[in-house]
Amino acid sequence: MPETHRCRSCGSTHSLPVIDLGLQPLANNLLRPEDLGKPEPRFPLAVFVCGECWLMQITDTVPPVDLFSDYIYFSSFSDAMLRHAHAAVEEHIAEKKLGKDSFVIEIASNDGYLLKNFVEAGVPCLGFEPAANIAQVARQNGVETHCEFFGRATAASLREQKGQADLILGNNVFAHAPDTNDFVAGASELLKPDGWVVFEFPYGIEMIDKVEFDTIYHEHVFYFTLTPLIPLFARHDLDVFHVEHLPIHGGSLRLFACHRGAETIRASVTTALEEEAARGVSSTGYYHQFSQRAEKVKADLIAFLAEQKTAGKRVAAYGASAKGSTLLNYVGDAAASLEFIADRSTYKQGRLSPGLHVPVVPAEELAARAPDYALLLVWNFVEEVLAQQQCYRDAGGKFAVPLPVLRLA
């Protein structure tokens, strides 16, 4: 008998296993060399799907304080994300005709990389960012930032102080909030009668299709398809009225919601729901092949690393990302032979990767040390990294892209 789990959205205990990635350390917890002697906690990392509402979610969560207190992912380090944020803000300002009398809220506003575009356009805005060190950077960037987790209580208190918002944005945070009903209730509470909620998150359909099991880590509680989101939003008096597909993060969904009846439901929603139904999102069969395909990726990587070792070739990696941590720890001991992980973030350099303790070095070191292969752990930025590392490639270095099937670039 598989273990049963309670759905965090609808409360059903009709749970079905999707994938088990074993005991894993926290994916963003890069160690300082002096921490090496200390215990490094590991937690079960597995996903189940609710057999009632078909919401994919992890079995075990880790307290958010452990996850976010010294969170070292600074959005501003990715050129692609900066461009994406700038373009999204321009679209929102035009669509909602935002100006000096409007109010925009972003949940998990990070270092202010997105909201600073609203500040520059003269649109009043405010961010919620739970990591104190990152909230401080945002304030230095001129972005008003509340250092709090977002939910019904914080939303009600902000509503008292500042009123409701025309636009509530949440990029890559919706899937992180374990109490998803509280999170959506907070958005509903803070939204003006004609306001829009716009959430972006990695699309669960893409994860399954492209075998992106490495996007699973403890911070990502949910892996959303659209099907389970309709009842979740409806429970809090919100309609999902539009969705857009985005290429970012290996394939994301941008969801638009409003108060019930405030907007006409667009064809994008009905089409996406029909497509999900046709794929079998509401049936067990859809989830069965996913873990087997992930096992194949793991076996291929272990074989690749063993083959290079035998041939006397040197292998390093690029991108000390959270998804890299999931992938490497799932692969296990074979990945401990990686020479180093090159990364552009000065906050990660000099640290060690979670679990396997591979040293993280500056990105320039890849060309300087010139290993034969670099395993690309940030395949979502493949074009950007290949362009930045042209010198390494010109000198004969090759990237190994692990997903969905191992290939050299």
Q: Give residues in contact with Zn ion (CB under 5 A).
A: 7, 9-10, 12, 50, 52-53, 55
Smaller CB distance to Zn ion: residue 12 or 76?
12
Tell me the two tokens of residue 353. 């990767």
Nearest to Zn ion of 185, 342 (CB atom): 185
Measured CA to CA, the distance from residue 170 to residue 181 in angstroms comes to: 15
Of 55 and 375, CB closest to Zn ion: 55
CB of 185 to Zn ion, least distance (A): 16
At 320, list the tokens.
């000390």
Question: Tokens at residue 71, please?
Answer: 């969170």
> Shortest Cβ distance from residue 229 to Zn ion (Å)?
11
* Residue with Cβ nearer Zn ion (225 or 321): 225
Q: Strand pairing partners for 107?
A: 128, 170
CB burial of 366-378 (b: ≥16 within 10 Å; e: otherwise) equals bbeeebebbbbbb
Cβ-proximal residues to 87 (8 Å cutoff; 6+ apart), any chain: none
Rounded to a whole number of angstroms, the minimum distance from the CB of residue 174 to Zn ion is 16
Tally of CB atoms within 10 A around 110: 27
CB of 58 or CB of 155, closer to Zn ion: 58
Question: Which lies closer to Zn ion via its Cβ, residue 12 or residue 337?
Answer: 12
Q: How far is Cα 376 from Cα 339, in angstroms, rounded to an integer? A: 13
Buried-exposed string 158-181: b where 16+ CB fall within 10 A, e elsewhere: beeeeebbbbbbbbbbbbbbeebb
Alpha-carbon distance 114 to 83, whole Å?
10
Helix (H) or strand (E) holding 145: strand 145-146
CB of 365 to Zn ion, least distance (A): 46
Find tokens 């008096």 and name the residue.
Answer: 237
Q: How far is the CB of 10 from Zn ion (least distance, A)?
A: 3
For 200, the 3-state DSSP assignment is strand
Q: Are 186 and 303 in contact (CB under 8 A)?
A: no
Least separation in angstroms between residue 55's CB and Zn ion is 5
Backbone angles phi, psi at 167, to 5 degrees: -145, 130
- The alpha carbon of 283 is separated from its chain's Cα centroid by a whole number of angstroms, namely 25
Report the residue number, 53 or 155, with the smaller CB distance to Zn ion. Answer: 53
CB of 243 to Zn ion, least distance (A): 20
Name which of 125 and 205 has its Cβ closer to Zn ion: 205
CB 247 within 8 A of CB 203: no
Measured from the CB atom, the residue of 55 and 322 that comes closer to Zn ion is: 55
DSSP secondary structure letter of residue 161: H
* Closest separation in Å from C-beta 6 to Zn ion: 9
Give the pair of three-digit tokens for residue 27. 């994916």
What is the nearest approach in angstroms of Zn ion to the Cβ of residue 163?
Answer: 33
3 vs 34, beta carbon nearer Zn ion? 3
Rounded-to-integer distance, Cα 92 and Cα 307, Å: 50
Q: What is the DSSP letter of 352?
A: B
Angle at 249 between CA 204 and CA 186, to 5 degrees: 65
Q: How far is the CB of 17 from Zn ion (least distance, A)?
A: 15
Q: Which is nearer to Zn ion, 16 or 262 (CB)?
A: 16
Smallest separation, CB 49 to Zn ion (Å): 9
> Looking at residue 3, what DSSP letter applies?
P
